[in-house]
Amino acid sequence: MQTGHVLVSHDLAKVLCLTQDKKAVQLVEIETTKELNQSICLTDLTEAKNIHERLKDAGLIGSLEIINIARLYKKFY
């Protein structure tokens, strides 16, 4: 179980994760806590905002929200 902030879609259905080769990012559908455990989770909100802006400027992601991962874990517990 992780703590911190994650980048998610506006409907909270997908979370941003690293790919298997750890060279790119992808949005993964949240079906179980396994996807949450694999997500990019940042402990500091300022750090999360910085990463979000860099990925957005690079064109790797569209418009995502930054939320506390505990909100997503509540769906399963």
Evaluate if residue 77 carries a pLDDT over 90. no
pLDDT, tens digit, 9 for 90 and up, residues 10-41: 999 999 999 999 898 999 999 999 999 999 99
Residue 62: pLDDT band by 50, 70, 90 thresholds? confident
Per the structure, the complete domain to which residue 52 belongs is given by 5-73
Evaluate if residue 76 carries a pLDDT over 90. no
- Distances in Å between the Cα of 18 and the Cα atoms of 5, 23, 28, 34, 74 are 15, 7, 9, 13, 23
* String of DSSP letters for 9-77: -TTS-EEEEE-TTSSSEEEEE-SSHHHHHHB--BS-HHHHHHHHHHHHHTTS--S-EEEEHHHHHTTT-
Query: Rounded to an integer, what distance in angstroms lies between the CA atom of residue 73 and that of residue 11?
Result: 15
Q: How many domains does the chain have?
A: 1
